[in-house]
Every structure is written in C-alpha cells, then in structure tokens.
Structure 1
C-alpha cells in the first residue's frame, strides 16, 4: 500500500475461505505512528454481512422487502434485497432531512420505505410491504377508539369535579346574591368573601412551595449533564434568573463532613439551612441548591475576566464562611470548585468538580480545591497506587500463615511483576517484602505464645513455618532471644 493520510475506508467485499464464500463489510485504517506524517501499516476489520443483517430481523423485510446501507459518497456498503429488483436505491432528491419515510411501487408491490442519515453521512434504508406496516393499525382501530372514548369520559368527570370544587365559593356568593328570598345579611356575605380569599391564599402558598422544588430540579439536571445544547442551558438558566452573559461562572460544591447520621433529620436540616443562610448573605446570591444529603451546590456569576482574580475573590469569602460556620456550629465543611467562561461548559464544569471530589486522595492546604486536570491525573495515579498497596497489605495479613507465601506468589495474585511489586513495597512500607512478612509472623507468634496455649512447634506451624528451627532463628533475629527463653 502506498503511504497516505490516516483516513478510514469502508467497502463491501466477497471473501473465500475453506471452499466457501461470504460477503463482508471491510473497515481499513492506517496505523498511527509516534513520529512522521504518515503511517507504515494498516488495520483491517471484517464484519460478516449476514450477522449485520440479523439486527434488521424485527423489521420482517424479507417478505418482499429489502435493506441497504450507503456511505457519504453514495457507495453501497452492504445490502439484502430479496426482491431481486435493482431499482431500490433512493435518489438525493427523495432524501428530505436527516430521516423520513415514503411509499414506492417496486416490482408491482407497494413498499413502505424508511431512511435515516447519521452524523457520518451514512444512509440506512429499509423497506417492508405496506400492508404489513399498516395492518396492525387496521386490526386495532376499535381498541384505540374505545380507549380514546374512555379517556375522554374520565377527563370530563375530572374536569367537572375540580371546576365544581374550585368554584364552590363563587357559587355560594352567586346563590346568596341571586336568591329571591329577600335581603342577605352582611355576615353571610362577608363569610363567603373570606372563604374565597382563603382558598386563593392557599393556592398562592402551594404555588410558592412548588417554585423552589422546580428550580432545584432544573439545577440538578444541569449538574448531571441533562442539558446538552447551548439553547437548553440558556433557557433553563433564564428560568433560574441567572445572567447568561457573564464573563465567568464559578461552580462550587460544599460538602458537610462527618455528619452525625444518628441525629434527627430536623437537626441536619437546620444545619444545612444555617449554612445556606451564611453562604447566601456572603455571596448575595439565591442560587444555592441541595445536591444530596451531604452536599450543597452554588452557581455564581462574575464580571471579572481573569480566572485567577475571580478565584482569589471567591476564596476570601469562602474563608470567612468556613471560619464562621465551624466556629459557631462545629460543622466541618470543605469546598471544591471550577471556573468556566462559557455557559456551554457548565455541564462539564460540574462533572470536573464531582470528579475532583470522588478522586481526591491527598489533603490540600487551600481553602477550596479547584479542579486542575494535571493534579487530577496525578491524584488518580496516587489513588491507584494507594489502592493496590492496601490490597497487598490485606492479602498478606490474611495469608501470612501460608508457608508458600512469597514475593512471587503475591505478584502472580495481583498480575504484576516481582520487580514492580518489590519496588512498590519498599515505597509504601519502607522495607522489603521478606522483612515485612517476617515481622508480621513474629508479632502473631508472640501473641500466641503469650496466651500459654501453644508450644514452639505448634506456634511455628500456625504462623507459616514448616521448620521449628527456621522459626527459632527468625524469632531470635527479631526479638533477640529464642522462643523458649521468651
């Protein structure tokens, strides 16, 4: 193959092997190299077309129908055409939009065609007999009509019920004013008006209760990446009354540490209300929302153009908040944050802060842990190292009594080399593997012998020594005396 740029190619081929042939979809791609502008080899991946077409079985197209796939240049990648008619391909004029459907007469049969164009420009087309597509609708039209009538009937009953209930005060006033039984008393009229106003106040209270819950729902969707387009983010930030034209947006998550889970929910709720009140007064913002039981989310806007200046100003306020909260209530809190300069980056910014919280593996001296990609990668590696160190330590403590326990057996157990395990062990425990295991066994042996229930031979066997002589030498090496002298 000639040298060329790293462009993927797709083509349909017929291959032969073992005396049989099969149609395949072939994907080829150059191998990226670490240096130079071109590659020196390629990777080929073949997909059996019959297996690919199994995904279309639910369409039942094999009853006088067909399926096919074209690439962005109009090249046919694969097809399954039981009709035998070559005139099945859609022209560019028939493809309106990214997807759709139409009907065509092919080989004397009315076919129902659906097409879809993906982001790569590939076109997927399938066709099934029209009577097969619309048959279920004809068969079930009476069922749908019955359900529609039932739904309309239930809806009419509910509308009548709620309108009657809500209009009861007005109906009462109307009856009083329009009655032909003579004059009405002022007391009766005042009572009816008071009832109407009371109903209205209750409605206003219920509406006001719903608004914070709706705002929290919008904020939670933003935090979890539910809004993907700029338009969605802008519309929902406007609902929260957040300026969508700010220079910077500061995302802060406040974590309440060491909450007493045995406390009443009222006490925990009071602590969070106290914390949110101080935060709101410090930043002059209402955009403070509960994320979960232990975390509070804050979204701040800033007209400062430099991120470092915005961070510094924010840190000063957070320091005062932490000092006041921990000084007055004893609540331990910590802060994590991120700064973005575009509302479209808010979902990824929230993701960065959550990542920083979940993967933090060392303490930090600053009042707030700002997300930093370099530090994140470093922390991830430290966390991975820390995790494997702990797993190795637990493995040794659980298997120290096994005479076959060795550097080689532990390395095999964790799928790493002995050299790497030895280096990892020295870094984590500041001593080599054999010394660590020997001291652990001697510690356990001393505890057994102090109990008075174990002989030297039984102790040696219990802590992993096949030979009492080897156990005695190790014991004297660690404690400076023999087991019997002890």
Structure 2
C-alpha cells in the first residue's frame, strides 16, 4: 500500500522533524513574550503614527494640488485680470458652481474661499460675499480683528503658508482651525497678489487621524510645526508639552523612548518639518503579554496536532505522484528491473535516459528540417494548401523565417545536359544545382529554393520591406539573376536561363505565379539567348480560359460572407488573368462570361436570396449581361450585381443582430435586480458565446454591455431614491448589488453624486 511505502515514511519523518522546531520555539516563547510584545507594540504605535503622518501630508498635498488647479483655471484667471468696474455677476456665479465640487473630494476642503482683490469679493462654493466684512460676520478668528484679518490674509503674498492652530468661529460654531494660504497667480512676489486662496482646516478633522492614541490607548498626541506652534493636540495640554520639550532627560532625536511611565514616539516630517508626537502608557503596552504567555503552550500543542495531521496528508499527496511515476518507469523499462539503493536513483537514471533520447530525437528532427522545408515549398508551388492559416502553420513547422505573402515565383534551368542521363552527368548536375543554390542563398537571404527535376530549380523571391510589387523589386531580382548567371558561367561554365511569373500578393497565389513561370519557361527558346524572361513580357493566345474550380468556390464563399471588396478582387484577378496576359478567342470569352454568370445564378438558389423581393430583378440583371459587350462594362455590371447581393446579406445580418440586441435589452430590463446577472448569464440566455455577445452589443449600440447594465441599475436606483421610502441599503439590494458600498461608488461614478446627496437634491 502507498502509506507503507518507503517514500511515504521518508516524507512523514521529514514533516515530523520540521514540527519539532516550532515545538521547541513554543516552549521558549513565554520567556520572551514580554520583550516581543513590547517591541511589537512600539513598532505598531510608530507605524500608526507614521500612517497618520502620511494621511495628513497626503491631504495637505491635495490641498496644495487644489490651489494649483485653481491657478490653471481659465475662468478664474479671467476674473483675476478683469478691471474692477467690469464685474460680471454671471461669471461670479459660474465660478462658485465650479469650485463647489472640490469640497466633495477632500474633507480638508470643506471650508475654503477665494479672495479677488480687484472686486474685493470672497468666493465660496455655491455663494459669494461682495464685501469681506460680510464673510467676517459669520466666520472669523477670535484673536484677529477685522483689520488684522485683512492685513494678515490679504495684505501680502503667501506661498504654501500654513498658520498654526487658533480659535475660529465658523457659522456661529466655536472651533479651532489651521489655515493654508496661497496667492494666485503662483508667481506673485510683489507683496500683494490679485487673488488669495484660503483653506480653513478644522482641528477635528486632523484630530480624527490621531484619535486612536487617546480612545484606544488612553494616551495623548500632539502635532507642531518647526517653530513649535501647535497644529493639533489631544489628551494633554500645551503646558505639559512645554515641560516635555524643556526636560533635558527627554531626547528629541529618538523615535521612541520611555518618559515618566509613557512610551513617547517622535517623528519629524521630511516634507514640511512638522513634529508628530504620541504618548502611550506602559501598562497598556504590556496588557497582552501575560495573555500571550498563557496561551503559548496551548497554541503550540494545537499546532503540533494540526501539523501532524497536515504532515500525514502532505506525505500521502507528495509521495503519490512519485509512486505513480515509479510504476510508469517500471512498466516502460521492465517490471523486473531492480530499483537499486533508493527510488530517487532509479528515477534519476531513467529520466536521464529519456532526456538523452529526447536530445537525439531533436538532433534528428533538425537534420530532417531541410527535407521538411523542401516539402513545404513543393506543396506551396503546387497549390495544395487550402487556407492561409494552413500555410502559416506550415511556415512555423518548417522554420522558414521569411514572410512569403508577397513576391515572385520563378524557375531556373541549367543548360547543356539535355538527353544525357548517365550517372556521371546526374552527379555533375547535382553539383551545378548545389553551386547555384549556395551562391544565391549567400547573396540574398530573401530567396527560397527547391529542386524541380534534375536540371531545374524553383526560386521564390520574397518581397523585402518597402519594395513589394514595385519596379525596383523587379530590377533587383533581374540584377540578382544576371549576376549569378555570369558568376556560374565564368567560374564553372554553367549556363542558366530564368523564367518568372507575375507578382503574387498573398501566399495562396504562389502557385499561380509558379504556373506562369512554368509557361514562360516554354518561351525561353525564342529569346535569342536572353537570360531572364518575365511572364508579362510574353503574349499568349490560349485555347481555353482561366477560371479554376477553387477560385469559383472562393468567390461564392466571399459573396456569402458579404465581403464585397474581396469579391471584386477575385473577379478582377480572373479578368486580368484572361485578358492582360492571355489573348482569348471570342468563343473562349463567351464561355468565360457564361461561367461567371452561372456562378452568380448558383448563389441565387441560397435561402437568403430566395426570400428576397429583389430576386427576380437580380436574376434578370445576370441574364441580361451580354457576352458581346466589352470586358470592362461586363466587369462593372458583375461588380454591381455582387454589391447588391452583399448589401442584401448585410441587411439580413444587421436585422438579425438588431433582434438579438433587442432581446438583450429586454432581458436586462427584466433581470437587472439579480446580483448574479453578468455577461456570462446574458450569453447563456441568448445561447451565444460571451465574446460574440459583447462585441455585437458594442458594435450595434456603441456601449459596453457592462456599462449598459450599470446604467439601467443606476436609473432605477434614482427612481427609488426619489420615492424616499426605502433605505440606501434596501435600494442597493433591489437593483442588484450585494454590497451597499459598491452601489454607492457605482452611483456616484454614473450619476455624479452620492445616493444620499442625490436624494437630498431631489427632496430640495
């Protein structure tokens, strides 16, 4: 059995040895629990104070960023630079509306205003005071008179200036606040500025960041600036802090130290120089030490028991695959083979053998790679590939490393060996082919070569970047062939001629270009010694026409798919092949046009066209095509018929798609309250793939399906909020949200306001 195997026992012993280590640590943990708890508590307190510092500095940075945003506000800039006698009340009202949104993003911006010196106006979110005295009646500092307030705030330039904590009355409520001042524009340096941004930050907002030190620990907290002015203070007074700072026993450079029974933590900000201090009583720090000591043995015992059970499970699970692997190895390499000293040596030896055999197989495959490439090229020029994807897969398998989508196909023939088939001649021909192929590959890496009989070589010239189908590419190929023809003649007295087909624009057309090269090769005897002949240079009078079956099937599939551009391209290719390079007889021309008409008539038998009202009209247009007309008007008429067919297919497709989208909208409108409603559920309902449903809805409506579902839910939530008879949690559940927090975030993102604010707005 598996549990009785050697591997199982080895794993289990290993886990038991590992369990002994925490057992020893558990027996010693109670001795060090006090020191560890004290160290952790200090670190946690420091971390907590650092987090409060980070939050406060981030909020202050947001306040500073807010003033920089105001400095870039074009409407505010216009107001600052207007003349005093050119006051526009609408612009004032517009600016108060603009700044209203800032107070919703940061609780430090709940009470701010902008003073415009040219108009002597104070702008607040949603309101304006046309005299600062009016603002001073409701919001003022207890220790500053009106004149002192104006002189201190508006009589000079401020650059990120922070005034320390001072008593402040806000709307009749007595509180304390620190004040952030920034002149606008930011470059103001002349003693006064056109505008001042004033942000009053309530002490309670800052105190909330440090409340844990008093509420949780019964301690105190204090924040002061570089000059010692108080920013925030809790659980103690300014007198006690003065004694602490003046006591020589207190080291101000230490982060943590015990002072008069308290752990005092001191952090100095590198950003603004503020000093953060917090005090925690020693007895609170050590409260959990004894509890940890008492439960340490219990935890150790439970950990041993659980660890033993886990060790049994892991031992069984880890040894199972090794035993299965051993069984496979024994089965493959012989059941009677001795395992040896241990199972791992047995596995190591057999896996090494497998790796060695794999490397040998890889080497053999690499050796066979030229044969695979040669077979690929022969299939390519023979036109055996049915799809582009099949060609791409074969290119990867053959490791071609070239893009064969565009270029020219050609045939090179070695002369001087006709009628001689002795072994010596064949060997000499093989040598000549190898010399020619090696010379061409060394000179240009964009050439693919394969043999075609004993005295012919097929060459595929892949287009280089930027040269596809250009005259420059033809000249480069011509020069390359001429150069190699001279080289092999001068060095080895080998004479070659080359025949090249027309340019192919896709890999599927390589076989067409090769067939053209093969037909061109038949005319090389009439070139009076010319080394290279192009298919476009010969005029062929053919006794038949070019319209292969595979091209007809491709045309039918293309029209069924509604791809009019590809259909026109195929018809253009057929016409070009039969008129530009061949000279068709009148009879062959009539037969070709008749075949094209027959192809179009075959399409009309499809269900899509049989149900159409335009069937008879299209059918008559096809029948009325006269084979006696010139080829150009015939091609234009065929293109027009194909356009009408493709438009009909597109309209049918659009109608079907619109129906699916309508069903989706109806289903979403009915099931939006289901929290499990998502793209998968909708696709399952529509019996379509998820990707298809998503892309279809986006294409038809211009909106993502997830955004549409969210909008439906938010619209319904807005209706329920207007009724004012359900809580926000109940509304969130009714519109398909399990979490009210997620609902609130989504509602604010879509509607621009929180649910409670929206309800209050509707109520007002």
Query: Same-fold call, TM > 0.5?
Result: no
Between structures 1 and 2, the one with greater helix share: 2
TM-score, structure 2 normalization? 0.24
Q: Which has the larger radius of gyration?
A: 2
Between structures 1 and 2, the one with greater strand share: 1
